[in-house]
Amino acid sequence: MSDRSVLGPADVTDAELTGIVADWLGESRDKVELVHSHAEVVPYDLPAITTAGRYWVRGEIHTPTGATSFSFFVKHVQSWSRSPLFAAVQPDFREQAEGSVPWRTEPLIYRSDLAERLPAGLTMPPAVAVRDLDEKSAAVWLEEVPVAGRTWTPQHLAHAAYLLGRLAASPAVRELAGIGGNPNGRPVSSYLHGRLTHQVLPMLRSDGIWKHPLVAAAFDEDLRQRLLDAADRLPEYVDEVEQVPTGSAHGDACTNNILVRPDSDDLVLIDFGFWMQQPLGFDLGQLLLGDVQLGRCFSGDLRRNEKACSSAYVEGLRAEGCDIDAALVRRAHALLMLIFSGASAIPIEHLASPPTPELHRITAERAASARFMLDLVDATA
């Protein structure tokens, strides 16, 4: 008996699943038989504009040596235009917005040999199947990765930063850095002329946003003015950072996307949807800020963690033969954080909710992280 109906269009036939499992086990397809299988939704409470669904597919297959169980993670990826969140995009900006997010990158990554090119200490889940569903969606089937829980200490973050530095500068990895294509050729400019111009900057320049109870309590007049001044300088900052040499960037290297195995010291990268070439230093931003943005850790740790991670990242660059000036990397990192996270620090995703104590706490942390980013930009000028 098998019930995988929850997969919807990402499902395969029993014969196809049998073949996937046989290949994974290294068995002849005509000598194995599917006993049973089932699928279930993976709980995940964070919005993702190019993810239609995440699932576990588990079951049992009979082989010449006996019954063997299997467990795969299935990710259904799609064009942003199919996300419910796309409805909030202004009609005259939708074509540009859809093209700015290259949803095909992740299937292409798992069809590539990136796993063999990653620096020692980094791995990725093996893909057992990658299937195009239609012209705007695909399903990626991955081997299950055992995961150990971790509280990310400054030492853990610095180690991850070192490996991300190696990833950025690795000559072997660089050959695949543009596998998904860079939207419009200049991703930082594209972000400025896309989301920032059409959504974030109009919000910052609206008096009403600053009067919202959550915002007014956390973003004082000094911070408001600093953010508005930075908003006026964003074109200048983008021009500056786009002069920095580029490297391979995971694109969303938050701790959610760096798995820790219980049986290995290797870090496992997942979620390659924003993989592309970016100015060196790019991946440091989400490594430092991801958990602060989600309210999982305190902004008060950012200064300490940033110093450790910046130094470790440059060590990783050096290990791959990149001798760029460390001060230039830190300056680029500061600007990239401000452009991609600081300018949008106001938690617009929570403003329609009742201003609970927890949301006040999250907003206060966002405000503190914005001050940190502005201070770092000033300090690296």
How many CB atoms within 10 Å of residue 274? 21
Structural domain boundaries in the chain: 1-144, 146-379
Contact at 8 Å (CB) between 263 and 378? Answer: no
Cα–Cα distance for residue pair 124/269, rounded to 1 Å: 5
Q: 146-379 — its CATH code?
A: 3.90.1200.10
Q: What is the pLDDT along the chain (381 residues), one digit of tens a residue?
A: 679 999 999 999 999 999 999 999 999 999 999 999 999 999 877 777 888 899 999 999 999 989 999 999 999 999 878 877 776 777 777 777 777 678 899 999 999 999 999 999 999 999 999 999 999 999 999 999 999 988 889 999 999 999 999 999 999 999 999 887 764 457 899 899 888 998 899 999 999 999 999 999 999 999 999 999 999 999 999 999 999 999 999 999 999 999 999 999 999 999 998 999 999 999 999 999 988 877 677 888 899 999 999 999 999 999 999 999 999 999 999 999 999 999 999 998 888 889 899 999 999 999 999 999 999 999 999
DSSP string, 167-193: HHH-HHHHTTTTTT--GGG-HHHHHII
How many CB atoms within 10 Å of residue 304? 11
How many CB atoms within 10 Å of residue 264? 12
Burial of 6 (0-12, 13-18, 19+ CB in 10 A): middle
14's CB contacts (< 8 A; 6+ apart) are 2, 34, 37
How many CB atoms within 10 Å of residue 124? 19
Four-CA torsion 13, 19, 20, 25, nearest 10 degrees? 150
Q: Tell me, what's the pLDDT at 82?
A: 82
